[in-house]
Structure 1
Amino acid sequence: MVNYRYLGNSGLKITEITYGNWLTHGSQVENDVATACVHAALDAGITSFDTADVYANGAAESVLGAALQGQRRESLEVFTKVFWTTGPGGANDSGLSRKHILESINGSLKRLRTDYVDLYQAHRFDHETPLEETMQAFADVVRQGKALYIGVSEWTADQIRQGQALAKDLGFSLISSQPQYSMLWRVIEDEVVPASKEQGLSQIVWSPIAQGVLTGKYLPGQALPAGSRATDEKGGKNMIARFLDDDVLARVQGLRPVADELGITMAQLAVAWVLQNDNVAAAIVGASRPEQVRENVAASGVTIPAELMATIDEVLGDVVQRDPSLTAASSPAKRPS
């Protein structure tokens, strides 16, 4: 079964392996398979589920809501997000304006078939909306009982500090940050993690397996596996491309002896690695087959000894991306349309 961790400086506990449905539900996999994956997560002890209104333009939320029907709502932790374009893409169909936040939470609740979400997250930072307006809207969502807690995703250290100061003035707190984080992508370590610790947030990290690269199935100098994310034209191909360098892939193969020594798979090693960071509350894992859920859950509770953590660093060397400026680059200067 899956271990629990507190989320930020709050009393909310979430499963350290959290099920996410980006790029899968409502898009890559049929609804019956998606439902089977959700049920496999529940059977394995996962109670925390992450989605977003933009995933498949709302379809991912709908699939998750349907799959969770019949479960005791109080025993689940459901997360969703707001920022990216939804609906037909009108002038106010994206961003973190009061209008978009208040309309989006209502749409998410309807699709998720619930009266509230446990965590509502700003999916990116909105440079076109005053931060005061955004935080006031989140405060109202909390007061209305539509979200119990508020978090952010891919915000910089300074944005987190500014947002938290406003949140506390309004009577609530930011408790989480959702960044990309893996053995290969460590851009949060120098600035975001220290700021989060200082401000009472912890991380719910996405792509801990680097879009599948850290499973070791992509081999240097060889054709991409048929049906893999790297060949998916619906979005996965673009995201994984940054990791498909032969030097990166060769170094990833060098991690096999570490996984073997621990008696776990490469995917489990990748998930366990992010969970060694004491500011990480959960690793988000997705799945296109129920057996993938069961494999990833086995990473819960795994401890990687310090000497093997050092070995991982030596093996990967300079292919690891550490530039903290890449967090800021993930939020567009203008709202998407």
Structure 2
Amino acid sequence: MQYRRLGSSGLQLSALSFGAWVNFGDRVGRDGARELISAAWDHGINFFDNAEVYAHGEAERVMGDAIRDLRLPRDGYCVSSKVCFGSVADPRPTQRGLSRKHVTEGCHAALRRLQVDYLDLFFCHRADPDTPVEETVWAMDALIRQGKVLYWGTSEWPAAQIKEAARIARQHHLHGPTMEQPQYNLLRRSRVELEYAPLYSELGLGTTTWSPLASGLLTGKYDQAVPADTRLGYEGNEELQRMVMGSPEERRRERVRRFTALAAEAGESPAPLAIAWCLRNPYVSTVITGASKVSQLLENLRAVELSQQYDEAFWERLSAATS
């Protein structure tokens, strides 16, 4: 496993990390989570990502139980949560958003569910138009000063709002955002490569990127249709399917076909190759992967080795084929 600094901070995260989105609490229970986290830990993964909204908090409970069962040393791993959407099915106004109240209570609830004394990383899951950025910055700073959070950041925030949060923090001598968690893959690049480009040097921003396989699209398994026994085919994931397939749908599928053809030409499986492409970006601190089976996790781990193979011309062909 490789380890990378989280932006300009001193925290080192495994280049590949493991996330609970979609699977934990819904498709994967305590036993399955224990097997997956054990395999990830055994292969050097030290960052486990979660959020209050995943399975309405159940994903964090399942992960917390699994880590406790495995007795992982607290100083050996990092765990995150994200706050904004709430953990109940139909949240009231004070049960969601980035107000001081919900940020504080969301943190405390995540600590209980994950069974830890502090969160290594705590993200504002989306920007909140109803809460002043200044209020959120002060709330996050308070949690850090109380020892309940070590680093805070954002997820899918516009660059201008991240810069504003950093400006407020500098002005008031508060802890500013350390990292951003954006989607990044061969089909979704502009935010990481263009919009955030100035922030890496200006703010020392780190990134914990998600969906390196575009929710499975880059594996090629949705080439003709969406099987019912896949992530996009699961009941309740209709909105995710619409988001992933894109519009027009056939245009995105054609880009995937070109990618899988190049993977076949190289004799590689599409999944680890797509993840490896993400790892080659020096501004990616860690790529969050997900899996419901240990075999999937082990295949994804091959990405670390693949990212160091092939010449630059090969990787440029992959980029061009999916642009």
Question: Does 2:172 align with 1:173?
Answer: no
| Aligned equivalent of 1:213, options 211, 217, 228 | 217
What's the RMSD between the two structures over aligned residues? 1.8
Aligned to 2:54: 55
Aligned to 2:37: 38
> TM-score scaled by structure 2?
0.92
| CA offsets 1:240-260 (integer angstroms, 9 cap, x no match) | 232782332233222235434
Aligned to 1:183: 186
| Aligned equivalent of 2:320, options 300, 314, 322 | 314
| Aligned equivalent of 1:271, options 271, 275, 279 | 275
- What is the 5 A alignment of 1:297-308? 297-301=301-305, 302-303=307-308, 304-308=310-314
Aligned to 1:143: 145
- What is the 5 A alignment of 1:233-312? 233-235=235-237, 236-242=240-246, 245-260=249-264, 263-301=267-305, 302-303=307-308, 304-312=310-318
1:181 to 1:247, Cα distance in 2 relative to 1, 3 A: same
Aligned to 2:66: 67
Give the Cα separation in 1 of the matches to 2:7 and 2:312: 25
| CA offsets 1:150-200 (integer angstroms, 9 cap, x no match) | 111001111111111122333323211100111001121211232233211
Q: Which runs of 4+ in 1 moved over 4 A?
A: 260-263
Give the Cα separation in 2 of the matches to 1:119 and 1:314: 34
Question: Does 2:15 align with 1:27?
Answer: no
Give the Cα separation in 1 of the matches to 2:285 and 2:317: 24
In the alignment, residue 116 of structure 2 is paired with which amino acid?
T
Q: Does the CA-based 8 Å contact 1:51-1:81 persist in structure 2? A: yes
In the alignment, residue 311 of structure 1 is paired with which amino acid?
R
Aligned to 1:92: 94
Q: Does the CA-based 8 Å contact 2:218-2:260 persist in structure 1? A: no
Compare 110-119 and 303-312 and name the one that shifted more.
Answer: 303-312
1:243 to 1:66, Cα distance in 2 relative to 1, 3 A: farther
Deviation at 1:202, TM superposition (A): 1.6
Deviation at 1:146, TM superposition (A): 0.4
Deviation at 1:305, TM superposition (A): 2.7
**Aligned sequence identity (%):** 39
Give the Cα separation in 2 of the matches to 1:35 and 1:245: 37
Gaps of 5+ in 1: 318-337
Give the Cα separation in 2 of the matches to 1:278 and 1:261: 26
Gaps of 5+ in 2: none
> RCO higher in 1 or 2 (8 Å CA, sep ≥ 6)?
1
Give the Cα separation in 1 of the matches to 2:36 and 2:274: 20
- How many residue pairs are counted as aligned between the two chains? 314
